[in-house]
Amino acid sequence: MNAPDKGGSVTHSSTSPIQRRLSLLSAHLVVALIALVVIGGATRVMEAGLACPDWPLCYGTFLPGRQMNLQVFLEWFHRLDAFVVGIALMVMAVTSLVWRHLLPRWLPLLSCALVLMVALQGLLGALTVLHLLESSVVTAHMLLALTLVAVLSGLTQRLRQAQSRVAPLWWRAGAAVALIGVTGQCLVGARMATSWAAQRCLASGDGCEWLVWHRATATPVALTVLLFASISLAVSGWTRHQWPFLLGLIVLVTAQVGLGVLTFRLGLNQPAVTIAHQLLAALLVALLAALLMRSPNNPSTSSQVVADDVSLEPCHG
């Protein structure tokens, strides 16, 4: 995401065209990864995790026409999205290596690391099928997916910013604590969901420990995010100018708590509510990672706007 600086102008003054294009690719990848997380959640809710019994193909073919139904489509599209993300990350890695003299020194190494991460993600995806949706494997799959969302969201922010100063320590610490808390809450929820602990607890009183943990940690995590947003809005200066994103945090957390309560009130029988709950979780991870990497622009660049072929592009991510 890219926002106006203190003076309200978008700055691209010291970024090369290739860097700006990579930032646009990275922003699109954040959207694709959030979609991947949501489709994965829909696949689990609709019990479609084994709709394609083989891997990497589906019923031995790239596009299973005769076997296609809603469950097969969800699993097939989940794999297709992951494949597209992998190809895009390889393009980013090759581009950053070829044009490394025009890019930040850390970008080629990080781009290659992202390719390895998505390869590991594909391996975990294969193991989820081969091990018949074992809870620990699916949870690890979710953890790596959220890590990719966070890293690419932060990467997009760094690529879009020109010369910048270091953000205040309390800002970075608050955003980091909130991000870790939300990610941890997502993992507890993922373990609860992939082991069907909530359903078993509501039906027979078995396996309630994960449900208890998820509900017990929800309030502290939500309060941590709200406290970070509230302090940032109260402090004058650069942090207050991030108010659109901070208000977004407040709205997302409030809606997430409401969806969590509604999910249990409905007895976990409404897939759309559960999927929306997972969507907001992924959005929170992406937004907190972007805020963690935001920093004030240098005064010398705060009023410069380059009117080139990408200066009027819409914001993404």
**Which pLDDT tens digit goes with each residue over 214-223?**
888 899 999 9
> Same domain, yes or no, for 180 and 289?
yes
> 8 lies in a domain?
no
Is the same domain home to 156 and 182? no
- Judge whether 312 lies within some domain: no
Question: Is 3 within a domain?
Answer: no
**In the predicted model, is pLDDT for residue 5 greater than 70?**
no
- Both 41 and 57 in one domain: the answer is yes
Residue 238 inside a domain? The answer is: yes
pLDDT at 18 exceeding the cut of 80:
yes
Judgement on whether residues 171 and 155 belong to the same structural domain of the protein? no
Q: What span, in angstroms and rounded, lies between the C-alpha atoms of 130 and 134? A: 9
Q: Quick one: pLDDT band at residue 274, thresholds 50, 70, 90?
A: confident
Residue 30 and residue 155 share a domain: yes
Q: Cα–Cα distance between 66 and 103 in angstroms, integer? A: 48
> Among residues 130, 160, 190, which one ends one of the domains?
160
- pTM, two decimals, is 0.83
In the structure, what pLDDT confidence band is assigned to residue 66 with cuts at 50, 70 and 90?
confident
The domain boundary, picked from 98, 129, 160, lies at 160
pLDDT at 207: 66
In a domain, 6, yes or no: no
9 domain-assigned:
no
User: Which of the listed residues 160, 175, 205 is the one where a domain comes to its end?
Assistant: 160
- Is 314 a domain residue? no
3-state secondary structure the chain: CCCCCCCCCCCCCCCCHHHHHHHHHHHHHHHHHHHHHHHHHHHHHCCCCCCCCCCCCECCECCCCCCCCHHHHHHHHHHHHHHHHHHHHHHHHHHHHHCHHHCCCHHHHHHHHHHHHHHHHHHHHHHHHHCCCCHHHHHHHHHHHHHHHHHHHHHHHHHHCCCECCCCHHHHHHHHHHHHHHHHHHHHHHHHHHCCHHHHHHHHCCCCHHHHHHHHHHHHHHHHHHHHHHHHHHCCCCHHHHHHHHHHHHHHHHHHHHHHHHHHHCCCCCHHHHHHHHHHHHHHHHHHHHHHHCCCECCCCCCCCCCCCCCCCCCCC
Domain count, the chain: 2
Considering the domain architecture, whether residues 150 and 175 belong to the same structural domain is answered as no
Q: Would 202 be classed as within a structural domain?
A: yes
Same-domain status, 183 and 128: no
Does residue 244 sit in the same domain as residue 281?
yes
pLDDT digits (tens, 9 = 90+) for 118-150: 999 888 877 877 766 677 888 888 889 999 999
Cα(191)–Cα(92) distance, integer angstroms: 32
| Shared-domain flag, residues 223 and 105 | no
What backbone phi and psi angles, to 5 degrees, belong to 165?
-95, 170
Q: Do 86 and 185 belong together in one domain?
A: no
> Highest mean pLDDT: which of 38-47, 64-73, 145-154?
145-154
Q: Which domain holds residue 30?
A: 15-160
* Mean pLDDT score across all residues of the chain: 82
Considering the domain architecture, whether residues 156 and 58 belong to the same structural domain is answered as yes
* Per-residue confidence (pLDDT) for residue 204, from 0 to 100: 67
Claim to verify: residue 206 and residue 104 sit in the same structural domain:
no
Q: Read off the tokens for 269.
A: 């029988």
